[in-house]
Amino acid sequence: MTSSRPHTANAWAVILAAGSGTRLADALRLAGGPQRKQYLKLDGAPLFWRSARTFARLQGVRGLVFVFPPEDLDAMRAEVERLYGRDPLGLPWKACAGGARRQDSVRLGLGQVPGEAGAVLVHDAARPFASAALARRVLGALGEGCAAAIPGVVVTDTIKRVDVDDKVVETPERASLRAVQTPQGFALGPLLQAHARAEAEGWEVTDDAALMERAGHAVAVVQGEEGNVKITNPADLELLRPVAAAAPRTAWGYDVHRYVAEGEDDPRVLAKARPMVLGGVAIPGGPRVLAHSDGDVLLHALTDALLGIACAGDIGQLFPDTDAAFDNMPSAIFVAEGLRRVRQAGYRPMHADVTIVAQVPKVGPHKARIAAQVAQLLELPPDAVNVKATTEEGLGFTGEKRGMKAVAVVTALPDAL
């Protein structure tokens, strides 16, 4: 059976998001994620939206049909409206309820495609990485006159056919096998007919191409994409991690504290005078430091570096010095909060390098203890923290012994690495 050339300049895409995601349900429940995999977030929008955006980039695609679980239809219609408001795709869209089997969902989705459409792309929302180039290839093959075109990749595993007892029945020749994907492209009329026959005659299939095969149509296979994975099992969730999180982060922190001048007698100033602490280590004999908290200049710089990793602003935002609650607060608490933010952002510190800049006191003798203490605060091994000290050769406010400063650089890796 042959068919006339489908009109691929007027194609609609049916995006299937009506499955129950059984194989991922437990993992999603444990992770506190959405109930169904098609609602997982990718770049801030549910998975199915990625496919919608991909199809909207194709010239021939004139509209979209979203197929959702019946019980979610109203909520998802509102969600698509919201997404369109934020990210207008410039295409008409419809949404409908799916059915128990994938093939039912496709049939119901096809019911929404306008009769004048020439071709249809049927796509699993669970394959968010399919590219526009792939969809173009599929439409291109349809345009050459096939009633069905599907993406396929060569298989690298040897495939066995087994019986109900898991005994091998046969080993098909690998070179002739293809693992097929979506989007699958069809001439609309023949696909509707094939679905109608499947309904009438009780055919059970796992993709639409199988219906077309049974109905006697030639199905062309175009080159698929290795990256066009169907999010199916818990291990696939790794693929949805934000790309940005795959890169290490380095951040910097800086802080200055003034010393209490010799002979200072203003009680308001003296109320803020703290004995010197650096990295949580008391420095006996050092000048007193003016501060709202305990005045640990090093831990303040370190906290800002941690907040830099987490993209969480700065220490002043988190712990305003107008807030009496932080009066004489041990700065280890700031570091702990910085660390919590880093972890919340999906990173873990690997290394810290801190420099104390002061004319007085001599910091050298305390460096090892400070490094050990900072390592403990960051939950790092001691050899992952370096403490340096320098003077500014008598120049500037540190040179004039009016205060000290510290800088900290922290490097962190995303949890995924």
Residues making contact with ligand CTP (CB under 6 A): 16-23, 38, 67, 98-102, 105, 124-126, 230, 232
Query: In whole angstroms, how close is the CB of 116 to ligand CTP at the nearest point?
Result: 25
Query: In whole angstroms, how close is the CB of 103 to ligand CTP at the nearest point?
Result: 8
> Nearest to ligand CTP by Cβ — which residue?
19
Query: In whole angstroms, how close is the CB of 226 to ligand CTP at the nearest point?
Result: 18
Q: Are 305 and 251 in contact (CB under 8 A)?
A: yes
- Token pair in block for residue 194: 């094939």
Please identify, using beta-carbon distances, which residue of 38 and 228 lies nearer to ligand CTP: 38
Please identify, using beta-carbon distances, which residue of 240 and 372 lies nearer to ligand CTP: 240
Taking phi over 0 as left and psi of -120 to 50 as alpha, with beta for the rest, 32 belongs to left
Query: In whole angstroms, how close is the CB of 220 to ligand CTP at the nearest point?
Result: 22
Please identify, using beta-carbon distances, which residue of 23 and 77 lies nearer to ligand CTP: 23
User: Quick check: helix, strand or coil at residue 379?
Assistant: coil
Please identify, using beta-carbon distances, which residue of 122 and 290 lies nearer to ligand CTP: 122
Q: Where are the beta strands (DSSP E) in 91-183?
A: 93-97, 119-124, 148-154, 161-162, 168-170, 178-180
Query: In whole angstroms, how close is the CB of 231 to ligand CTP at the nearest point?
Result: 7
Query: In whole angstroms, how close is the CB of 57 to ligand CTP at the nearest point?
Result: 20
- Token pair in block for residue 313: 């602003």
- Token pair in block for residue 124: 């699993």
Query: In whole angstroms, how close is the CB of 195 to ligand CTP at the nearest point?
Result: 14
**Long-range contacts of the stretch 229-233 (C-beta < 8 A, 24+):** 229/127, 229/129, 230/124, 230/126, 230/127, 230/181, 231/24, 231/37, 231/40, 231/47, 231/126, 231/127, 231/128, 232/23, 232/24, 232/126, 233/23, 233/24
Q: Are 340 and 294 in contact (CB under 8 A)?
A: no
**Long-range contacts of the stretch 193-199 (C-beta < 8 A, 24+):** 195/103, 195/106, 195/107, 195/110, 198/103, 198/107, 199/107
Please give the backbone phi and psi of residue 128, each rounded to the nearest 5 degrees, phi first: -75, -15
Query: In whole angstroms, how close is the CB of 66 to ligand CTP at the nearest point?
Result: 10
Please identify, using beta-carbon distances, which residue of 93 and 334 lies nearer to ligand CTP: 93
Please identify, using beta-carbon distances, which residue of 235 and 325 lies nearer to ligand CTP: 235
Please identify, using beta-carbon distances, which residue of 7 and 101 lies nearer to ligand CTP: 101
- Token pair in block for residue 201: 């005659």
In the DSSP assignment, the letter for residue 234 is: G
Bond prior to 320 in cis (omega within 30° of 0): no
Query: In whole angstroms, how close is the CB of 114 to ligand CTP at the nearest point?
Result: 20
Please identify, using beta-carbon distances, which residue of 17 and 375 lies nearer to ligand CTP: 17
Please identify, using beta-carbon distances, which residue of 20 and 390 lies nearer to ligand CTP: 20
Chain centroid to CA 88: 22
Q: Are 46 and 79 in contact (CB under 8 A)?
A: yes
